[in-house]
Amino acid sequence: MVTSRHEAAHRIFQDRPELLEPVFRILGVPLPAKASVEVLTADTTEIRPLERRVDSVLRIEPPGGSTGLILAIEAQGRRDPDKAVSWAYYLSYLKAKYGCPALLLVVCQDKATADWAAGPFRLGPEGWTALSVHPLVLGPDNVPVITDPERAARHLALATFSAMTHGRGEDGPAILEALARALDTADPESTAYYSELLEIGLGNSPAREIWRKLMPRTYFPGRGTLIEQTWQEGEAKGRLEERALSVLRVLESRDIPVSPAVRERITTCAFMDTLGYWLEAAVTVSTAEEIFVHGG
């Protein structure tokens, strides 16, 4: 089942491709210097009755026109015996479609799932391996624990990913504290993006409540001044606009048509809770209009 937490675990790579450089370094995979990153369609359907969709697909191209690679990213929350076949299909399809090597990166937020996802997965009859799948895996064992605010400020994407991965563990409060302090010095757009993405990525957990309590400390707490009131009103409007855009981005990334009427209703909504319901619905609906049965 696709959830908002699931969506956050792979969407960060689409929105902040600078995360790929430290991630590839962690995994020991060479990434071409100054490579460009392009978000590709996640649809890998060939036969109409059988729909297949990768969570995220990126094309990584080195400068100078030399051969790049395709990176398929899957967020995995549990063991799934059917995934080996799907992953083998994704890699074969992407290689055939784009004509360059393809890698699979599996993002896991618990150790047991990460250990399983590392494979290798061998496909074929008993006694013979016709095909073998070797995913790259990000999980608690190799994602760094970032508790230094200065390091978090230098690498906001990696620090946020660290918080999504380790936020529910014993180091969670220290990681969240460091990231909150780092975002206190970041630009407003980055602060809004990372704070909301992490809130979604932490799911329904105690860590999410810790994060909600940490973030207001950076926003003129309790002064009651006109400057504070004006800032808060502008911040509220900006958060509404950002969440509305998030709903539209999710629908568009899934190639779901959005009519002018639907777009207007989303962008003029004045209720954060309603937009939150629509954002969660956007990752599973079949048509854009279906989101309005959720909290609308």
- Domain closes at, from 218, 248, 273: 218
Residues 117 and 14 in one domain: yes
Task: Tell me: do 235 and 286 sit in the same domain.
Answer: yes
Domain that holds residue 251: 223-296
pTM of the prediction?
Answer: 0.64
63 and 126 share one domain: yes
Number of domains in the chain: 3
Residues 81 and 194 in one domain: no
- Whether 36 and 132 share a structural domain: yes
Is residue 181 domain-shared with residue 291, that is, in the same domain?
no
Are 126 and 59 contained in the same domain?
yes
Residue 203 and residue 128 share a domain = no
- Beta strands 121-123 and 131-133, pairing class: antiparallel
- The DSSP-derived string for 235-282 is HHHHHHHHHHHHHHHHHHHTT----HHHHHHHHT---HHHHHHHHHHH
Same structural domain, 214 and 229: no
Last residue of a domain, one of 109, 138, 167: 138
Per residue of the chain (296 residues), give pLDDT as tens: 345 677 777 878 888 888 888 888 888 887 777 778 887 765 554 444 444 678 888 998 888 767 789 999 998 989 998 899 999 999 999 999 889 899 999 999 899 999 999 999 999 888 898 999 999 999 999 999 999 999 999 999 999 999 999 988 899 999 999 999 999 888 888 888 888 888 888 888 888 889 888 885 443 344 343 434 544 565 667 788 888 998 998 898 888 999 999 999 999 888 888 888 888 888 888 899 988 875 55
Domain boundary among 202, 218, 234: 218
CB 39, CB 58: distance < 8 Å: yes
**Same domain, residue pair 151 and 229:** no
